[in-house]
């Protein structure tokens, strides 16, 4: 395995020390924002550094994760899925599959881990209003939830197309007291919601905290979101050591912006025996409309950071497509771009059709309805597990539950509800 | 003397006019701006994701892209403008990705070839200067930096380091085309900025009328007007040039006369 580390990093034997002090992971990341936001971003960074070394902050974060979110989330041995895949594999093949059950968190996905961390930062910084962008609505629901818990007014920006396809989550956010702004600009999906949130933030920097929902945006967001989500990998490591007495052979997670994936991956980056696979949404296939920024994009600058982007020759951002609203984004977190370039993580595409099939497989075999995002990772596991020996262990991040997706799935299957 | 230096050496305050390239009949509108008395031209490079722009300029970006405007088209417009108007400073304004996608050296070289005097890049703050600044400076193209109400005195030296052309004071913390800043806060900021730099200071964001422009022109070296032009182009489409010229003249008269009136 290649373990090249850029010169700017301090501990050359670790892949876990990034970003550098200017927020770069290799050539990726950074702070590409309007001057108006720069002082605030620097403020946030200072505050985050202080909070990280503050035991009280840490204790409050842990308390909320345990008693409010319901952590630790279980690590479930998916025996029926494992057996099902072994049945069609060659003799002696078919890795054992564990699911990290982020779907069992309060609000139904990993998103809440990050929201708890960021709202504690907002409180620490004395900000009185919360904003967020959302695609599938999972991050919007998680943000509206913590805003309700902390009694702060909250505005969620959501592309008009996503508002239409994620109605249950829109209603949930409203019940939680959030204002949901349907964004009509651009392609009316997640990237446009993020543009609109940034526009609102620029005009309200004095009292507003922007809870970004994934490991994207300007430094220090990719770092702090990763750190808040790393509870996933820290728990998974302890749980697999307890269950199996050893590290897993492979990790698999879906990658939209990449927060659930980096949360699972980061604590394992220096464990060379662990293969790591991120799953990008290949939509209709890499020749058609898709959301696979690494497979089909090039490095560029958007939303405050440098990373792989779907774009044309002139640097205009092209529209992403995925059946899963949470993966429907033309970029990816900068740390993933770096892990891709240095070869530490392998990224594989999974299509809408494959995800749809795995959504049903997991539901029938394990009684677990996964989010369509998570179904992408299940599909990759179904593809890879039969090629590995029976003695191998895979942990798949079941990043969320699929209740929000039943309308989309019914529609795709031609079922009228 | 550079075109910027010659323009800002005049005793009167400069009218800096912004339109989006490829929105309407750009060549005709550029000529109308010059005929109406604009002193500096900012030509916006359309981008799919104009994060710092309000609804008017967002829509102009999308109209231009829908017509198929490319980066090559924009440089052709710039070169043709330079051939028609030898002395008027021309600035390209836009976002980092279209400017850097083929490499900063390529972009800086094309700017120099087309006779572009300066660049405003909204989303490259001084912290990320390496992305574009060194290439522009090597090619002799000025990098125009933005200062905002949130730029504190501690940051200002970093913002000014490597800056050229003029300093653009974004008078409101917000996006283009919406609110207008209080005159007192503009006066205070301009005085502070002029104390920190020898560069001319131009003030923009939210300036829509000759009256507002005249008030700002009393204290600033330049007044930037954008969304108000975009609104005219949105209304009149390819036939906007006469309207652009008339509005430019009303702004130019107000701005150019402001300092004499004050004195
Ligand atoms: C359940 C679930 N998984 C994954 C994602 C993708 O986001 P990320 O890549 O940041 O984990 C989302 C986003 O909405 C989601 O809801």
List pLDDT tens digits, range B70-85: 999 999 999 999 999 9
Query: What percent of chain B is modeled with pLDDT above 70?
Result: 98
**B162 touching A (Cβ < 8 Å):** no
User: Is any ligand 1 atom within 6 A of the Cβ of residue A239?
Assistant: no
pLDDT band at A55; cut points 50, 70, 90: very high
pLDDT at residue A3 is higher than 60: no
Q: Whose CA is nearest to atom 14 of ligand 1?
A: A326
* Active-site hit among B42, B129, B142, B221: B42
Average pLDDT over residues B61-67: 97
Average pLDDT over residues A359-369: 98
Atom of ligand 1 nearest to the CA of A401: 1
Q: Which helix (H) or strand (E) holds A88?
A: helix A79-88
What is the ipTM for the molecules in this complex? Answer: 0.96
* Nearest by Cα to A278 from A293, A299, A300: A293
Q: Could you give the maximum distance between any two Cα atoms of chain A, in Å?
A: 64
Between the CA of A274 and the centroid of ligand 1 the distance, in Å, is 23
pLDDT at residue A8 is higher than 50: no
Residue B42 falls in the annotated catalytic set: yes
**A413 min Cα distance to partner chain B (Å):** 33
Q: What is the mean pLDDT of chain B?
A: 95
Classify B3-258 by CATH class: alpha beta
User: In this predicted structure, which of A116-120, A125-129, A405-409, B29-33 has the lowest mean pLDDT?
Assistant: A405-409
The tokens describing A89, both together, are 């594999």
Burial annotation A213-231 (CB, 10 A radius, 16+ → b, else e): bbbbbbbbbbbbbbbbbbb
pLDDT at residue A5 is higher than 60: no
**A352 min Cα distance to partner chain B (Å):** 26
Task: Quote the radius of gyration of chain B (alpha carbons, Å).
Answer: 17
Task: State the Cα–Cα distance between residues A143 and A130, nearest whole angstrom.
Answer: 8
**pLDDT tens across A255-313, in order?**
999 999 999 999 999 999 999 999 999 999 999 999 999 999 999 999 999 999 999 99
Between the CA of B126 and the centroid of ligand 1 the distance, in Å, is 33
CB-nearest partner of B125 from A35, A202, A314: A35
**Distance from the first to the final alpha carbon of chain A:** 49
Task: State the Cα–Cα distance between residues B28 and B91, nearest whole angstrom.
Answer: 17
pLDDT at residue A10 is higher than 50: no
Distance of CA A304 to the CA centre of its chain: 17
Residues 6+ apart with CB under 8 A from B122: A34, B51, B52, B93, B94, B95, B96, B146
| Residues, chain B | 263
The DSSP 8-state label assigned to residue A67 in this structure reads I
The tokens describing A65, both together, are 């994760």
Tell me what pLDDT residue B123 has.
97
User: Is any ligand 1 atom within 6 A of the Cβ of residue A255?
Assistant: yes
Q: Whose CA is nearest to atom 5 of ligand 1?
A: A326
User: Is any ligand 1 atom within 6 A of the Cβ of residue A256?
Assistant: yes
Residues 6+ apart with CB under 8 A from B182: none
Atom of ligand 1 nearest to the CA of A138: 16
pLDDT at residue A6 is higher than 50: no
Between the CA of A73 and the centroid of ligand 1 the distance, in Å, is 16
Q: How many helices (H) and strands (E) does chain A have?
A: 16, 14
**pLDDT tens across B179-206, in order?**
778 889 999 999 999 999 999 999 998 8
Catalytic site positions of A: 111, 133, 399
Query: What percent of chain A is modeled with pLDDT above 90?
Result: 91
Atom of ligand 1 nearest to the CA of A214: 10
Burial annotation B199-234 (CB, 10 A radius, 16+ → b, else e): bbbbbbbbbbebebbbbbbbbbbbbbbbbbbbbbbb
pLDDT band at B260; cut points 50, 70, 90: low
In A17-95 the beta strands, taken as DSSP E runs, fall at 24-25, 28-32, 75-77
Please answer whether residues A232 and A100 qualify as being in contact, where contact means their C-beta atoms are separated by less than 8 angstroms.
Answer: yes
Q: What is the 3-state secondary structure (H, E, C) of A116-137?
A: HHHHHHHHHCCCCEEEEEECCC
What is the phi/psi pair of residue A393, to 5°? Answer: -125, 130
- Can you give the residue ranges of every domain in chain B? 3-258
The DSSP 8-state label assigned to residue A73 in this structure reads P
**pLDDT tens across B126-160, in order?**
999 999 999 999 999 999 999 999 999 999 999 99
pLDDT band at A12; cut points 50, 70, 90: low
Q: Where would I find the H helices in chain B?
A: 3-9, 26-36, 55-66, 71-84, 96-100, 104-114, 133-139, 156-160, 183-196, 210-217, 227-236, 241-262
């Amino acid at each position: 395995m290649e373990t090249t580390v850029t010169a700017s990093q301090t501990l050359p034997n670790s892949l876990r020390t990034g970003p550098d002090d200017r927020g770069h992971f290799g050539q990726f990341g950074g702070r590409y924002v309007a001057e108006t936001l720069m002082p605030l971003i620097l403020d946030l960074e200072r505050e985050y550094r202080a909070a990280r070394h503050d035991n009280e902050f840490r204790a409050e974060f842990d308390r909320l994760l345990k008693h409010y979110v319901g952590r630790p989330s279980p690590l479930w041995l998916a025996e029926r899925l494992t057996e099902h895949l072994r049945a069609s594999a060659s003799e002696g093949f078919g890795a054992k599959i564990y699911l990290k059950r982020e779907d069992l968190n309060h609000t139904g996905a990993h998103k809440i881990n990050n929201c708890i961390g960021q709202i504690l930062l907002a409180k620490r910084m004395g900000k009185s209003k919360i904003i967020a962008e959302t695609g599938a609505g999972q991050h919007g629901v998680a943000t509206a939830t913590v805003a309700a818990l902390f009694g702060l007014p909250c505005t969620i920006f959501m592309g008009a197309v996503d508002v239409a396809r994620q109605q249950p989550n829109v209603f949930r956010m409203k019940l939680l007291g959030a204002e949901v702004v349907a964004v009509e600009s651009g392609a009316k999906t997640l990237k446009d919601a993020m543009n609109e949130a940034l526009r609102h933030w620029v005009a309200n920097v004095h009292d507003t905290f922007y809870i970004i929902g994934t490991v994207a945006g300007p430094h220090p967001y990719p770092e702090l979101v990763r750190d808040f989500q790393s509870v996933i990998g820290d728990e998974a490591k302890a749980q697999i050591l307890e269950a199996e007495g050893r590290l897993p052979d492979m990790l698999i997670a879906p990658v939209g912006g990449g927060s659930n994936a980096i949360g699972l991956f980061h604590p394992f980056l220096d464990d060379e025996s662990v293969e790591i696979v991120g799953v990008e949404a290949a939509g209709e296939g890499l020749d058609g409309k898709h959301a696979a920024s690494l497979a089909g994009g090039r490095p560029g600058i958007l939303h405050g950071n440098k990373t792989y982007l779907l774009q044309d020759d002139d640097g205009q951002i092209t529209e992403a497509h995925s059946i899963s609203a949470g993966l429907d984004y033309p970029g990816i977190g900068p740390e993933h771009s770096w892990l891709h370039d240095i070869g530490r993580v392998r990224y594989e595409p999974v299509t809408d059709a494959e995800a749809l099939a795995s959504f049903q497989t997991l539901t029938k075999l394990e009684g677990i309805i996964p989010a369509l995002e998570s179904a992408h990772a299940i599909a990759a596991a179904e593809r890879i597990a039969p090629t590995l020996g029976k003695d191998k262990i895979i942990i798949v991040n079941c990043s969320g539950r699929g209740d929000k997706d039943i309308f989309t799935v019914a529609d795709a299957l031609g079922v009228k509800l | 003397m550079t075109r910027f230096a010659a323009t800002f050496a005049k005793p009167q305050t400069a009218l800096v006019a912004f339109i989006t390239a490829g929105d309407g009949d750009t060549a005709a509108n550029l000529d109308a701006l010059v005929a109406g008395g604009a002193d500096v031209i900012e030509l916006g490079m359309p981008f799919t994701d104009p994060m710092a722009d309000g609804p008017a300029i967002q829509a102009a970006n999308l109209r231009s892209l829908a017509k198929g405007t490319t980066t090559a088209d924009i440089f052709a417009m710039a070169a043709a403008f330079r051939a028609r108007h030898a002395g008027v400073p021309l600035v390209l304004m836009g976002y980092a990705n279209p400017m850097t996608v083929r490499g900063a050296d390529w972009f800086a070289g094309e700017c120099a070839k087309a006779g572009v005097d300066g660049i405003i890049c909204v989303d490259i703050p001084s912290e990320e200067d390496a992305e574009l600044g060194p290439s522009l400076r090597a090619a002799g193209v000025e990098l125009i930096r933005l200062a905002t109400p949130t730029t504190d005195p501690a940051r200002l030296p970093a913002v000014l380091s490597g800056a050229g052309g003029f300093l653009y004071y974004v008078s409101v913390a917000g996006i283009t085309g919406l609110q207008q800043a209080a005159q007192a806060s503009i006066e205070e900021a301009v005085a502070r900025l002029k104390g920190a730099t020898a560069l001319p200071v131009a003030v923009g964001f939210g300036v829509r009328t000759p009256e507002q422009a005249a008030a700002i022109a009393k204290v600033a070296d330049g007044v930037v007007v954008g969304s108000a032009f975009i609104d005219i182009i949105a209304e009149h489409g390819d036939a906007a040039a006469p309207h652009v010229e008339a509005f430019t003249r009303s702004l130019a008269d107000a701005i150019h006369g402001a300092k004499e009136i004050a004195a």
